[in-house]
A and B are shown apart, each in its own frame.
Chain A
Amino acid sequence: MKSRDDKTHDPARRAFLGAAAASSAALAAGAARAAGPDPLITEVQPWASEFGDPVDASPYGMPIHFESQVVRRNVEWLTESPVSSINFTPIHALEGTITPAGCAFERHHSGAIELSKTDYRLMITGLVDRPLVFTYEDLTRFPRQSRVAFLECAANGGMEWGGAQLEGCQFTQGMIHNMEYVGVPLSALLEEAGVRPEGKWIYFEGADASSNGRSIPLEKAMEDVLIAFYANGEALRKEHGYPVRAVVPGWEGNLWVKWLRRISVYDQAVESREETSKYTDLMPDGRARKWTWVMDAKSVITSPSPQAPIYHGPGPLVITGLAWSGHGRIRRVDVSLDGGKSWQEAEIEGDPQPKALTRFRLPIQWDGSEMILQSRAMDETGYVQPTKDALRAIRGLNNVYHNNGIQTWWVRASGEVENVEVG
């Protein structure tokens, strides 16, 4: 590999290298024999003697302050207004598969609105036998279903179509969350209204000013779409559509209409702004794909990653990450330490759920040398996550959406990790 030492004079990097060297030395000494008794053990600590917080201190708790880095972050220059914008889930710091709602990413087109259950109304109109209005209470009386599903923004990784741009998987893959939803199958609501034979398309719109109207073919609507009011055990967060949102498993996040106020049945697609101007994917011949609903199989190593460097020096190292597919279950994830020359199969945790985040891990012995880390997901259809170059060979550079290309991390001998492309 080429020499890439041009960052040596960067102060932050020098500080990092110094700290890494110091910690390696401490670790080496510790591994051999403690220099002396550890006062954290030999001296009685305050928390082993005095009281902690009482049970009435925190009726609804927040994470301990030591975890203050595990928060949503935004990148101002990505959009022109913070109310039609995006922020990012700190996936570099999370484990397992369920995303805590409080740090699960947001994407609004006219801000996160406040809509009470009392003020909430849902209307079903169009090609139905009985146009209906439901209150929130009405919705709670339908038989319920539960399912875990990932919501990935169509634009997740979109800034990386042209090259390596942002530093950290929070920023390059973090327009995603994965929650356990409870709600009513859309099919039950449609049956209540009675879809007419000529009704072929469902149109969702939200109660917010942007409305975020989207068209969905009736087959998908009847298959597995949920009208959800619980996520991860509690009511939806305001910013995630309180009190009611659409859950459209496996399909691009824009279709998961929040603050859902109207479901209409039409004989054709509406071809709204959010499925013509936006969420259409420009191809090299100047034409564009429309209705690219499914999110294809994808994965990313969440640690090590640029925001999760290796501080502990050589020896045992856990490589871990997330894989997902809008087509069904993840069947396998392969990991490469050498930029894709050779691959080994990672361990998959538990039973992967269809169209849901799946955790993989590969424990290795790191010898302290450079690595070029990649992960490659395979789903139950046999689809294998492509490289970015393989996608660009078909789609060019201006697709904007649906970047599921393999991510590369360059792990340096110092333990620092960079977002790079290889070729």
Chain B
Amino acid sequence: GPAAAEPLGLGRPALPEEIAAWDMTVLPDGTGLPEGSGDVWTGDEVFAENCAMCHGDFAEGLDNWPVLAGGAGSLQDRRPVKTIGSYWPHLSTVWDYVHRSMPFGMAQTLTPDDVYAITAFLLYSNGMVEDDFVLSKENFAEIAMPNAGGFYPDDRPETEYPEFTGDPCMSACAAGTEITKRAVKLNVTPVGPDGRPAGTLPDLHLAAAGTAAP
């Protein structure tokens, strides 16, 4: 590739306080975790106060809000239930995401100890620890997530691209043309006043006659 360009001297050094304020990412091996700890019962209280109004008292989810616990063993079901316990590969992601982006609408209001406690409570809710469990920076890396081995990097170059590459059929192709599914049967698309899908282009013949919808 091209030789590295000479730095232009733009920008200024980031100060340690600035880096600490913004770079709060936690990596899968626990790098980035701050000092602190929290137990399941404290987590239960913090969760009840900050989280349960959407995610339920037991992290089971209210209405259509995300389910955080349950669904173990459902990943091959017709409708899988993908939760922290059933699906997520790393505990670091729970800590990192809750700390930076939750509660929804009031993010970055939880202390590190709050987040350790909530994380401990979510482990308990998913049946992964006992109710006297205390999570800390020190024992964080010891927690093994049930679905830690459940992911693999994109393999489309091996499993799909060879099959989908090459000259396609152009005539007398073996294609089934019986209609098997129709979206109108579900009738879940937003519609306009005329009953057609919202945004349907106007019939210019009707517009010319002055009968088009405004």
Binding site for B on A (CB under 8 A): 1-2, 4, 7, 10-13, 15-16, 19, 22-23, 26, 66, 69-71, 73-77, 80-81, 83-84, 90, 92-93, 109-110, 123-126, 130-134, 138, 141-142, 163-168, 170-171, 188, 191-194, 203, 205, 209-211, 213, 222, 261-262, 264, 266, 268-273, 276-277, 280, 282, 284-294, 296, 306-309, 311, 334, 336, 338-344, 372, 376, 378, 381-386, 390, 394, 397-398, 410, 418-423
Q: Using Cβ atoms and an 8 Å threshold, which residues of chain A touch B111?
A: none
Interface hub of A167, A192, A306, A397 (most chain B Cβ within 10 A): A167
CB distance from A57 to the nearest CB of B (A): 21
* Cα distance, A193 to B206, chains bound together (Å): 62
A268 surroundings in chain B (CB, below 8 A): 27-29
Report how far A65 CA is from B74 CA in the complex, Å: 50
State whether A276 touches B168 (Cβ < 8 A): no
What residue in chain A is nearest B63 (Cβ atoms)? Answer: A80
Task: State whether A110 and B104 are in contact (beta carbons under 8 Å apart), knowing that A132-B11, A271-B90, A343-B170 are contacts in the complex.
Answer: yes
Q: Does B166 contact A (CB under 8 A)?
A: yes
Name the A residues within 8 Å of B202 (CB-CB): 66, 69
Looking at B35-43, B92-100, B113-121, B130-138, the stretch in contact with chain A turns out to be B92-100
Q: Mark B159-203, 1 if CB is under 8 A from A, else 0.
A: 111011110111111011111111110101111101111111111
Say whether B22 contacts A262, CB under 8 Å: yes
Cross-interface CB contact of B10 among A134, A290, A293, cutoff 8 Å: A134
Q: What B residues does A74 contact at CB under 8 A?
A: 190
A208 to nearest B CB, angstroms?
9
Q: B16: shortest Cβ distance to chain A, in Å?
A: 9
Determine whether the beta carbon of A2 is less than 8 Å from that of B7: no
Whether A386 lies near B183 (C-beta < 8 A) is no
CB pair B199–A69 under 8 Å, yes or no, is: yes
Complex CA–CA separation, A7 to B165 (angstroms): 40
Contact A270 B151 (CB under 8 A): no
Residues of B within 8 A of A (CB): 1, 4-5, 7-8, 10-14, 18-19, 22-23, 25, 27-29, 63-66, 75-76, 78-80, 82, 84, 87-90, 92-93, 96-97, 100-101, 104-105, 107-108, 150-156, 159-161, 163-166, 168-173, 175-184, 186, 188-192, 194-207
Known A-B contacts A75-B190, A290-B153, A394-B159; the reply to A134 vs B11 at CB < 8 A is: yes
**Could you tell me the distance between the alpha carbons of A2 and B29 in the complex, rounded to whole angstroms?**
58
Knowing A191-B7, A341-B177, the reply to whether A290 touches B152 (Cβ < 8 A) is yes
B199 and A71 contacting across the interface, CB-CB below 8 Å: yes
Can you sample 7 A-B contacts with CB below 8 Å? A19-B203, A270-B96, A290-B153, A311-B203, A382-B165, A383-B161, A384-B165
Q: Which residues of A sit under 8 angstroms from B152, Cβ to Cβ?
A: 287-290
* Distance of A293 Cα from B7 Cα, bound (Å): 30
Closest CB in chain B relative to A346 CB, distance in Å = 13
Other 11 A-B pairs with CB < 8 A, given A12-B196, A294-B154: A93-B201, A164-B181, A164-B183, A222-B1, A271-B93, A276-B93, A311-B204, A341-B175, A343-B173, A394-B159, A421-B180
* Distance in Å: Cβ of A123 to nearest Cβ of chain B: 6
Inter-subunit contact B203/A23 (CB<8 Å): yes
Determine how close the nearest CB of chain B comes to the CB of A256; give it in whole angstroms: 18
Closest chain B CB from A14 CB (angstroms): 10
CB atoms of A2 and B178 under 8 A apart: yes
User: Contacts A1-B177, A80-B63, A268-B28 hold; do A168 and B197 have CB atoms under 8 A apart?
Assistant: yes
Nearest CB to that of B20 among chain A residues?
A125
Q: Which chain B residues lie closer than 8 Å to A342 at the CB level?
A: 170-173
Q: Is the CB of A277 within 8 A of B82?
A: yes
Minimum Cβ distance to chain A for residue B137 (Å) = 18
Closest A residue to B169 by beta carbon equals A343
B157 to A, closest residue via Cβ: A294
Contact of B199 among A1, A2, A73, A397 (CB under 8 A): A73
Chain B residue nearest to A27 in the complex (CB) = B205
Given contacts A23-B203, A292-B154, contact A131 B179 (CB under 8 A): no
| Contact in complex: A90, B197 (CB < 8 Å) | no
Q: Which residues of A contact B155 (CB under 8 A)?
A: 289
Q: How many angstroms from the CA of A39 to the CA of B195 in the assembled complex? A: 32
CA distance A309 to B4 in the complex (A): 54
Q: Are B183 and A418 in contact (CB under 8 A)?
A: yes
- Contact at A422–B23, with CB atoms within 8 Å? no
Query: Of A80, A170, A171, A192, which is within 8 A of B11 by CB?
Result: A192
Which of A16, A276, A381, A419 has a CB less than 8 Å from the CB of B89? A276
Chain B residues near A132 (CB-CB < 8 A): 11-14
With A and B bound together, what is the CA distance between A279 and B47 in angstroms? 26
A340-B177 in contact (CB<8A): yes
Closest Cβ of chain A to B97, distance in Å, is 4
CB distance from A364 to the nearest CB of B (A): 16
B192 partner residues in chain A, CB cutoff 8 A? 69
- The listed residue (A12, A26, A142, A292) touching B195 by CB distance below 8 A is A12
Closest-CB distance, A390 to chain B (whole angstroms): 7
With A19-B203, A92-B201, A308-B201: A291-B183 Cβ-Cβ less than 8 Å = no
B7, A194: Cβ atoms under 8 Å? yes
* Chain A residues in 8 Å Cβ range of B27: 266, 268, 270-271
B-chain residues with CB within 8 Å of residue A165 when the two chains form the complex:
183, 186, 188
